[in-house]
Amino acid sequence: MKKLVILDGNSLAHRAFYALPLLRTTTGYFTNAVYGFTTMLQKIIRQEQPDYLAVAFDAGRITFRHEEYADYKAHRKATPDELRPQFPLIKKVLAAMRIPVLELESYEGDDLISEVVRAAEKKGIQVLIVSGDRDMLQLVTEQTKALITRKGISDLECFTPEGVNEKYGITPSQVADYKGLKGDQSDNIPGVPGIGAKTAVKLLQQFHSVEECLANLDQLTPKMAALLREYGDQALMSKRLATLAQDVPVRIDFADLKMEQPDYEALINIFQQLEFKLLLKNIQEEIPSDIAAPDEGEDFCLIKTKPELVDLIEELKETGEFAFCFERNGISPHSAAVSVLGVAWGDSCVAIAFPEDAKQQGEMLALLDEVLAGPDYVKFCHDAKAELIMCRRHGLDLKGIKGDTMLGAYLLNSSLSNPEIEDLSLKYLDQVVNFAQDETGAAQRALMIKKVWAVLIEALQRDDLADLFYKLELPLSVVLAEMEIQGVKLDLTRLEEMSRRLSKQLLTLTADIYALAGEGFNINSPRQLGQILFEKLKLPVIKRTKTGYSTDAEVLEKLAPLHEIPSKMLEYRQLTKLKSTYVDGLQSLVNTRTGKVHTTFNQTITATGRLSSTEPNLQNIPVRDELGREIRSAFIPSEPGWILMAADYSQIELRVLAHMSRDSRLIADFQHGEDIHTRTAATIFGVAQEDVTADLRRRAKGINFGIIYGITDYGLARDVGVSREEAARYIENYFLQYPGVKRFIEETIREAREKGYVQTLLKRRRYLPDLLSSNRNVRAFGERTAMNTPIQGSAADIIKMAMLRIHKDLQEKSLKTRLLLQVHDELIFELPAEELEPLASLVRSGMENVIELAVPLKVGIETGPNWNDMEGVE
């Protein structure tokens, strides 16, 4: 049986409008109703897979019902100004999706739906009505169901005749009678005064319809009979108003309602206009790709044998330039198997399918070594680091990479994090792609990499980013790949012991907390904890989150003097965090082949230019408290007789600030070489350096951090524990003493507003559209990031340069030392003990002299048998 879905356009648009926040495009169009309607529509199409589909809209404000009753819908609020202009947009989306719109002057969408249902039933077509209006229930039959929104736009309830009866106690055909008796506030249908929902249902269960009620007045209570006698005509009129039209002058031709493929080009166009990024991405996945379709492109072929591969390699050597990509299907390059390699040169592309047999595969790969490892064969890829890891793992080298679309796109706009080639094809070539699922997909992908790179390199040169790309990021990807491949050894015995110890302690703590609470609950659920603390124990609410009570560490500390649970909870939280994230989490990520953890350093994630680390994140291993530090003891050298070395920049961000702001006082502070926070304290609190107490220093430290983050009096007050007024005075005084810093901040924000972006020392860019927001908070946030990004980002530039330099020095000096980790301002190495001295001086000078700033850069070096027990080296 064929299926038809018909949507009540007006009703659903209203629903969407009120359910979603007022979304707006950067160009000022309101789009929340369009967005809500579109997502609802797509979901229904996906779920129902209808054969026929249409959307009905009201047309004309005056309908035939007004002829009968002038006040029909008189109380209805006017459509809001933010919604009205969204209707034409919805219709544009529908046109692009090739979904017919049904409208008829002076009829409501409901009436058209009624007509369509009637016609469909005659033809034996199954119908599903989608609406937010329960009036639609009167159309429900065995053949026709109704999907009515319950709450918001995603909670829908499906009604069959039985369902209607169960829920309302009447049949679908009695809906109009019901409204005739009860009336309807929202449509201003009067009904019978004094008859509400209960009475109406009771009457209809007894007499089936309004007419029969009126014909049997003698069987009613005298009061009810009088009521119906007086308002009988009004009840009949109300019923007629509530009854959907029976004779709509329209002919339904089902051929016009057949589902069709959307006009993807038009749809992309309108989604782009409306800035529906997620929906764009979704249709991208849905669209059959037209590039290099394997069945029509004569340039395409699939390579499976050695002779074929030899021919290909000859061709590549002749061309001297190609794009490539190993298929990984989202699997980490540290563990993905080699299955398919996509290659593109000129206008051609091929996929190489590798045999599973290790020996045969090895032979095929060995053939490729010449072109992959040959530095003179120019290569482009998307994520050079991942490709290098794949190659190295299979015994191949990779040299001669001249383009990386992922890295390039990130440098052009650091707000794109880990962009996919599909996203870039849309952004830079206006081309929507959906690569084939089989081997041919890799070939298509390679070809797209080549095309996108041609555009990106132009853009990089235009924005003066080519140096940053070729001299820093691209070579850095090799260093990072080697760090990841090397991995870090963990003392598993130690972790297992910790895990057992923590389990035991947690068991005791949990029991204590339950006993104190007087009941068991899910101790990991902030919500349940909130109920215990604030409802059962009536402790004062310190802070709220969007959804309820806050129970974070700050709150628990304040509650600690009032009850025993909060401090126990703090301890519990600390221990579970250690156990689940670090002790157990790290163990589970140890690679079985190497016995080490191999993090991934993401080079294209952060908006500022920093790296990030995942699976595991080795940039947030505990250090601040003693118990947490124990985790670091489990990080050990991977060879006997080796040690670890940590080299960290001292105050690199403040030094960068001194350099960029050229503030003479801050520069002088650093040239003095003593503790910077003490000097800051002496300066802003107007005391001699010897008289700076620990507390004054702590406050000055807070101010120094605050300056880097984009200070506010509120934030500073919270951090150092003084009043907001006090904090405001500190800030004022700081800017008085360091006027160059103040000027730098103002100048940076002004320039950012003008250009739309800020820059680091190495010209890395971050665009800041928030600076132009009409929302004050968003704008203030933009201003803080505007001043923080050049500082954080330049510090990132500097340590990246240092990594390159040290990596090169290590190679040239043939040292055995390996760089393992970068944690934003520090580098971790493992080394044979005898290399300690040469390495310490190599690392120190590498890091300190990698760039000439207005202030010296200082590096602290420590070594030890693990990452915890470290001692300073002079």
Partner DNA sequence: GTTCTCACG
Partner DNA sequence: ACGTACGTGAGAACA
Of residues 579-618, those binding DNA (CB under 7 A)? 580-581, 585, 588, 602, 605-608, 610, 612-617
Kindly state whether residue 823 participates in binding DNA, applying the rule CB under 7 A: yes
Beta bridge partners of 146: 129, 159
What three-state secondary structure class fits 861?
Answer: strand
For residues 483-512, which are near DNA according to CB under 7 A? none
Closest separation in Å from C-beta 705 to DNA: 5
Least Å from the CB of residue 218 to DNA: 52
The nearer residue to DNA, 614 or 671, going by C-beta atoms, is 614
The span from the CA of 58 to the CA of 66, in Å, is 14
Alpha helices in 243-355 (DSSP H): 254-257, 264-274, 277-286, 306-319
Give the residue among 227, 236, 245 at the shortest CA–CA distance from 190.
236
Residues contacting 535, CB < 8 A, separation 6+: none
Positions 754 through 793 that interact with DNA (CB under 7 A): 776-777, 780-781, 784-785, 788-789, 792
Bridge-based pairing of strands 155-159 and 144-151 is antiparallel
Of the candidate spans 160-168, 383-391, 698-706, 851-859, the one that interacts with DNA by CB under 7 A turns out to be: 698-706
Binding residue for DNA (CB under 7 A) from 122, 223, 251, 546? 546
In the list 166, 260, 438, 714, the residue contacting DNA (rule: CB under 7 A) is 714
- Judged by CB under 7 A, which stretch of 254-262, 493-501, 624-632, 665-673 contacts DNA? 624-632
Shortest approach of DNA to residue 596 CB, angstroms?
16
In the complex with DNA, the residue whose CB is nearer, 709 or 738, is: 709
If the CB atoms of residues 243 and 683 are measured against DNA, the closer one turns out to be 683
Q: Tell me how far apart the alpha carbons of residues 787 and 622 are, in angstroms, rounded to a whole number.
A: 28
Beta-bridge partner residues of 378:
321
Residue 595: other Cβ atoms inside 10 A: 12
- Name the percent of the chain in helix, strand, coil, to the closest 5: 55, 15, 30
Tell me whether residue 77 or residue 776 sits nearer to DNA (CB atom).
776
Which of 273, 361, 567, 574 touches DNA (CB under 7 A)? 574
Q: How far is the CB of 833 from DNA (least distance, A)?
A: 25
- DSSP letters, 521-532, are --TT-HHHHHII
Q: What minimum distance in Å lies between the beta carbon of 241 and DNA?
A: 37
Considering the complex, state which of residue 320 and residue 520 has its C-beta at the smaller distance from DNA: 520
Stretch near DNA under the rule CB under 7 A, chosen from 138-146, 429-437, 623-631, 832-840: 623-631
- Answer for which of 706, 740, 790, 864 binds DNA (CB under 7 A) is 706
Q: Which is nearer to DNA, 226 or 736 (CB)?
A: 736
The correct pick among 621, 647, 676, 758 for binding DNA (CB under 7 A) is 621
**825 lies in the site for DNA, by CB under 7 A:** yes
Q: How many helices (H) and strands (E) does the chain have?
A: 36, 24
The CA-to-CA distance between both ends of the chain, in Å, stands at 84
Instruction: State in angstroms the smallest separation of the CB of 703 from DNA.
Output: 7
Nearest approach in angstroms of CB 615 to DNA is: 4
Nearer to DNA, 175 or 523 (CB): 523
CA distance 502 to 469: 46
In the complex, what is the shortest distance from the CB of residue 860 to DNA, in angstroms, rounded to a whole number?
12
Give the binding-site size for DNA (rule: CB under 7 A). 72
698 is a site residue for DNA (CB under 7 A): no
Q: Which residue has the tokens 């395409």?
A: 300
Give the residue with the Cβ less far from DNA, 228 or 621. 621
Structure tokens at 289: 């790709």
Task: Let me know the angle formed at the C-alpha of 758 by 755 and 763, rounded to the nearest 5 degrees.
Answer: 110
Task: Give the 3-state secondary structure of residue 238.
Answer: helix
For residue 625, state whether it binds DNA (rule: CB under 7 A): yes
Report the sign of the C-alpha dihedral through residues 750, 751, 755, 756, in that order. Answer: negative
- 450 near DNA (CB under 7 A): no
700-732 per-residue burial string, b: 16 or more CB within 10 A, e: under 16: bbbbbbbbbbbbbbebbbebbebeeeebbebbe
Asked whether position 570 contacts DNA by CB under 7 A, the answer is yes
What is the H or E stretch that residue 614 is in?
Answer: strand 612-614
> Which amino acid is present at 134?
R
- CB-wise, 178 or 734, nearer to DNA? 734
Q: Which is nearer to DNA, 95 or 570 (CB)?
A: 570
How do beta strands 871-873 and 859-864 pair? antiparallel
CB of 863 to DNA, least distance (A): 17
